[in-house]
Amino acid sequence: HYRMLDVSAWKVVMGAKFKRVFAKPENHRALDDIRGSIEELKFYLKKVKK
């Protein structure tokens, strides 16, 4: 759907607004990437709730 925001879109928006982005480890393994993206989204959602 064209209105969906993925984690990369959150990274751009939050980086512009708060000047801070999530430091995700660079493992490049599928399951690690998925878990990292989930943690990254949680990080950004906590910033929005403040």
As a whole number of Å, the CA-based R_g of the chain is 11
Q: What's the distance, Cα to Cα, between the start and end of the chain in Å?
A: 28
Give the model confidence (pLDDT) of 6-50 as tens digits: 888 888 988 898 887 888 777 779 999 889 989 999 998 898 887
Tokens of 15: 């980086």
Q: What is the pTM of this model?
A: 0.74
Question: From residue 4, how far is each of 1, 7, 8, 46, 48 by CA, in Å?
Answer: 6, 10, 11, 19, 17
Identify the pLDDT of residue 1. Answer: 58
